[in-house]
Amino acid sequence: MSINAKLGTALKSVKDEGADFADLYFEISSSHSFMYEEGTFEEISSSRMEGVGARVVRGEATSHVHAPGVDIFTGLSCLRKAAANSGLSGAAVHVPSLRIMERDTTLQSPDFSFFREIDERTRSGSMWVKQVSMNLDTACKCFTVFNSEDVLVGDKREYTIFSVEVVVEKDGVIQTGYESEALSVNSVEFFTRISPMKTAEKALSRALLMLDAPECPAGTMPILLSGEAGGTMVHEACGHGLEADIIQKDYSVYRGKIGSQVASPLVTLVDDGSIPGLLGSSRWDDEGTPCRRTVLIEKGILKEYLTDRTSAMKGGLPLTGNGRRSSYRSVPQPRMTNTFIEPGTSSPEEILKGMKNGLLVKKMGGGEVDPTSGDFVFHVTEGYLVKDGRITQPVRGAVLTGNGPETLMNIRAVGNDLHFLPGICGKSGQSVPVADGQPSLLLGNIVVGGAGA
């Protein structure tokens, strides 16, 4: 009997004993990380790991056992323990220690000799520069999934992320400019397509622009959220609330609203892990379900939630290909992949001309969202006042405060300029690569914190 057949037989036997579902997830991964600050490398690290996670789902309970190694003996030993933890027999394992996956070639360490040059050139670009920080991360993950429903699939994922943060200070005023680039390729190909110096120049330019800008006036005003700002608000204020486990824990404002209007008719929100080249893409999710396009909100109507296998079984929901895990040590969760609002028909210039007064947001910073209520607070790192349809001046210190569902209902125009912003998303202690996208969005009156707030 082949290795694949042995694993398939073992998984089916666990299901025949009374489990609702069982799977084995084998992974080999490697990464390199570089942190540069104050003219020196603060940290250089490399890692390589391989291991297997066995999962048995029975009723409301999930047992997960993991161990280093990608051989059949380790996999079936973990499966036996997970089955025993679920009250099943967990029969003894008598198999040879044969590898399931071949050792992957070591991920090539990227060239990082340019860091010091970028640091020197950025500092020479302005007398106000106080600090330059850079981060470079590159990773490769190969995985194979077997489950009790005769699924046997695998994939290889790569990504590289480079970011620059520049801090400037003038007359006691401190501003920070941040810029990042990310692609789902190895570092060699990444730097044939991305110029790290241009990334640093953008960060410096943004910091200096905000350094001389006056403080943003506080008040309630329309917001033109540029497509260049990426989909941070969509991801945080809406996306997490549409993940089925959050729905089932009653933590989401979108619970029980399938078929209801939850956004402006101008809004169609999509999650699609099958788009080539984006950071959240793959052929399969980490449970072996094909990644696909999932329309979450269609013309303002809530259509679907994002699921993994356990949330789909619990709620009688379709599988959407969003079962993701950070490594073999973790249990899958419903997670976003590439989440975006589909573009509309208006150009950003047309939308801007239609604004009487308000704030144009070109870049979003950090923020906080309460998924139970949908309330959010987001910082603006690049913003401009708008008067009579024209940009008048940059302003700093703006903070957007509002409610996600209310904001979605109050979208007045959707641009034709879809942009994606790559990043790393955290949830329940796990981090996975994602991409968030949106076109330009004209939001109805939003409370803006600023000068005098």
294 lies in the same domain as 317: yes
157 lies in the same domain as 13: yes
Q: Give me the number of domains the chain comprises.
A: 2
pLDDT of residue 109: 84
243 lies in the same domain as 186: no
21 lies in the same domain as 130: yes
Residue 369 has pLDDT above 90, yes or no: no
100 lies in the same domain as 245: no
265 lies in the same domain as 247: yes
335 lies in the same domain as 428: yes
241-280 exposure pattern, b = at least 16 Cβ within 10 A, e = fewer: bbbbbbbbeebbbbeebeeeebbbebbbbbbbbbbeebbb
- Name the band, by pLDDT with cuts 50, 70 and 90, for residue 367: confident
In this structure, is the dihedral angle defined by the CA atoms of residues 252, 253, 257 and 261, taken in order, positive or negative? negative
pLDDT of residue 95: 79
Residue 81 has pLDDT above 70, yes or no: yes
Residue 17 has pLDDT above 80, yes or no: yes
196 lies in the same domain as 228: no
Closest listed residue to residue 394, CA positions, set 421, 360, 423: 360
258 lies in the same domain as 391: yes
241 lies in the same domain as 343: yes
- Name the band, by pLDDT with cuts 50, 70 and 90, for residue 1: low
If you average pLDDT over every residue of the chain, what do you get?
92
Domain that holds residue 97: 3-211
Its pTM stands at: 0.93
Cα dihedral 207→213→218→221 (10° resolution)? -90
225 lies in the same domain as 147: no
Residue 294 has pLDDT above 90, yes or no: yes
Residue 453 has pLDDT above 60, yes or no: no
pLDDT of residue 314: 95
- Name the band, by pLDDT with cuts 50, 70 and 90, for residue 451: low
The Cα–Cα gap between 206 and 73 comes to 55
- Name the band, by pLDDT with cuts 50, 70 and 90, for residue 110: confident
Residue 22 has pLDDT above 70, yes or no: yes
The CATH number of the domain holding residue 160 is 3.30.2290.10
pLDDT of residue 447: 94
Report the run of H or E that residue 424 belongs to, with start and end. strand 419-427
Bridge partners (DSSP) listed for residue 231: none
Instruction: Find out whether 30 and 107 touch, Cβ atoms under 8 Å.
Output: yes
Each residue of 307-349: pLDDT tens digit? 999 999 999 999 999 999 999 999 999 999 999 999 999 999 9
Angle separating helix axes 115-124 and 196-211, nearest 10 degrees:
30
* Residue type at 61 in one-letter notation: A
Which DSSP letter does residue 403 get? E
CB burial class (10 A; 0-12, 13-18, 19+) of residue 9? exposed
165, 190, 211 - which closes a domain: 211
211, 239, 274 - which closes a domain: 211
Each residue of 168-227: pLDDT tens digit? 999 999 999 999 999 999 999 999 999 999 999 999 999 999 998 999 999 999 999 999
Each residue of 422-444: pLDDT tens digit? 989 999 999 999 999 999 999 99
- Name the band, by pLDDT with cuts 50, 70 and 90, for residue 452: low
C-alpha of 209 from chain center? 28
Cα dihedral 359→360→362→367 (10° resolution)? 30
Mean pLDDT, range 112-135, rounded to an integer: 95
pLDDT of residue 383: 95
pLDDT of residue 6: 82
Greater pLDDT, 102 or 4: 102
192, 211, 230 - which closes a domain: 211
User: What is the C-alpha R_g of the chain?
Assistant: 24
- Name the band, by pLDDT with cuts 50, 70 and 90, for residue 91: low
34 lies in the same domain as 109: yes
- Name the band, by pLDDT with cuts 50, 70 and 90, for residue 106: low
